[in-house]
């Protein structure tokens, strides 16, 4: 994220999103994503009986988006 903000990395979608993030915003995002289980870890917890049914179902992810910059300020 810091590289996108600094311009060291470029991407049409990421650069504008990272441009207004504070150091705390980036630290919060990193902490959130590192706290998520990896894809294989969730699948390993499924019993064999339900593994076939769940293997084809999309995972349900609930995420709370917290930011110090309003979307209007970023995209406005």
Per-residue model confidence as pLDDT tens digits over 26-68: 999 989 989 999 876 554 454 555 555 555 566 667 767 666 6
Q: What are φ and ψ of residue 6, in 5° steps?
A: -80, -15
Are residues 21 and 1 in contact, defined by beta-carbon separation less than 8 angstroms?
yes
Measured between alpha carbons, how far is residue 32 from residues 36, 40, 66 in Å? 7, 18, 11
Residue 13 has pLDDT above 70, yes or no: yes
Per-residue exposure over 10-29, b if at least 16 CB sit within 10 Å of its own CB, e if not: eeeeeeeebeebeeebeeeb
State pTM to two decimals.
0.46
pLDDT the model gives residue 71: 63
The pLDDT of residue 58: 62
């Amino acid at each position: 994220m810091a590289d996108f903000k600094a311009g060291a990395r470029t991407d049409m979608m990421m650069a504008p999103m990272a441009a207004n993030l504070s150091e705390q915003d980036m630290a919060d995002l990193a902490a959130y994503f590192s706290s998520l289980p990896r894809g294989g870890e969730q699948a390993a917890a499924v019993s064999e009986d339900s593994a076939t049914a769940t293997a084809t179902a999309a995972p349900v992810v609930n995420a709370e988006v917290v930011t110090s910059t309003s979307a209007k300020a970023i995209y406005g």
